[in-house]
Amino acid sequence: MRQMEFKMERQNLVEIGQVLPVTESKLPNSYYYTLGSAYAMSANYTTLERLKSSEGKVVDIKETPKGFFVTVEFDE
């Protein structure tokens, strides 16, 4: 299992236990991922860190002073 963290700007967009699609986007030297219908976005990842799964399960949602962070688990 692999876990990734996504930043969500508003609360209540996703729920723990939801299975959501993930879309990969390419930058010149890295990749980033969008969760569901743009509910949350990931950090940038190198080519070696690319995600192989196309969907993941929400396992945790944290609220911090910097916003909401969603942890998603992938079968990798």
pLDDT in tens, 36-69: 999 999 999 999 999 999 999 999 999 999 999 9
pLDDT at 5: 96
Q: Side chain identity at 33, as an amino acid letter?
A: Y
Q: Side chain identity at 54, as an amino acid letter?
A: S
Q: What does DSSP assign to residue 16?
A: T
How many structural domains compose the chain?
1
What average pLDDT score do residues 27-38 get? 95
Instruction: Decide if pLDDT at 19 tops 90.
Output: yes
Alpha-carbon distance of 23 to 36, in angstroms, equals 8
pLDDT band at 76; cut points 50, 70, 90: confident
Nearest 5°: CA angle at 26, between 28 and 66? 100
Range of the domain at 32: 2-74
